[in-house]
A = this chain, B = another copy of it.
């Protein structure tokens, strides 16, 4: 049923998925009320991949690990994070995940208010634009460098950063922005911040 995770496509749906299953579109409606419900379903199966089994240890590494696990699950299904955000009310599995995170904070000695703020901080996108603002499709560094030079006049600082990235790409192996690193960087920054607040508070 929710094995509809299949062909891994996102923007395409319902009629398409039906034919993919060798069935007429309307047949799907015998299993789900509408498309949203179907999406809720597959979202839940993805989120359920996150390992929520209790772990012993200090709150910080434990929470860190769980969030990174969630990230891994979402990375396995690139369309998922977008789908989750588009939903107006969270699905049960999402609730369960959130609940587990909150529980870890509470067990770590945080007060309810503190956790509340922490959850918001972890969930908010400060710039209002998401991390994937630039699609990090790996273009070759030289083209990137050229583009950077081209916009040096209008967007000097952006260009500077882009050049640095292009440079790194040519010297070190791997793609310019190490997304994983960036993610952990921001995560640790926040976790450290929470810790300081707790000690201070």
Number of interface residues of A (CB under 8 A): 63
A84 in contact with B128 (CB, 8 Å): yes
Residues 119-142 of chain A: 1 if any B CB is under 8 Å from the residue's CB, otherwise 0? 111111111111101110000000
Q: Quick check: is A61 within 8 A (CB to CB) of the other chain? A: no
* Interface residues of chain A: helix, strand, loop or mixed (majority): helix
Known: A120-B177, A124-B131, A155-B99. A161 touches B84 (CB 8 A): no
Q: Which residues of A contact B (CB under 8 A)?
A: 67, 70-71, 74, 81, 84-85, 88-90, 94-96, 98-103, 106, 112-113, 115-117, 119-131, 133-135, 151, 154-158, 160-161, 164-165, 177, 182-183, 185-187, 189-190, 192-194, 197
Which residue in B99, B117, B126 is a CB contact (below 8 Å) of A157?
Answer: B99
Q: How many copies does the complex hold?
A: 2
